Structure 1
């Protein structure tokens, strides 16, 4: 599910402060990148059996190289996903995300957005 009008979509920011800020808010990039894209995931445990939710922030390089650490990243709209073990993550609206989970996801994104504002280009 796309989280619309969060204020981070289309933000342009250097990779290093983006890595720092997302990490500060428990988003993990780990191996989820290539030379021109980054993905940060925030894990939300669920009481449902074999279900985990993720908030995903994605971006792509508009200059520089992620591998070299000199990329300038343009952020995309964040996503809310539901992981079905062992099948994978689904991001569709039809997943039926609980309203309190959507609100929590928006609140987490707002905290990231508030800090990103000081670094955006």
Structure 2
């Protein structure tokens, strides 16, 4: 599910402050490295056995390298997904997302947006 309208999509932020503010919001950058892309996830477990949801914010480098830590990142529209063991996470609009999970995701995105606004840079690319 795309979580649009939060003002995060298309924001351009330097990688180091982005990593810091995402960590402050409880989001973890995926451990796999990439020269051009970043992915931040927030895991939400539920009382239902094997029911896990992920809030995901992705971005790509408009300059610099993620691996070197000098990248400037342009963020994409946040996603909310449901994990299906052993297949992975599905982000489709046909998924069923509990209202409390959607509300928690919106709260996290609001916190991220407030912090991103402090660190936005003008895009040169």
TM range (shorter): over 0.9
TM superposition outliers: structure 1 runs of 4+ over 6 Å = none
Which residues of 2 match residues 1-121 of structure 1 at below 5 A? 1-121=1-121
Aligned CA RMSD, in angstroms, stands at 1.0
Q: CA 1:90 to 1:74, structure 2 compared with 1: closer, same or farther past 3 Å?
A: same
Which consecutive residues of structure 2, in runs of 5 or more, have no partner in the other structure?
none
The CA deviation at 1:30 is 3.6
Which consecutive residues of structure 1, in runs of 5 or more, have no partner in the other structure?
none
Query: What TM-score do you get using the length of structure 2 for normalisation?
Result: 0.93
Aligned-partner Cα distance in 1 for 2:49–2:90: 16
The CA deviation at 1:26 is 1.1
Aligned length: 121
Aligned-partner Cα distance in 1 for 2:119–2:67: 20
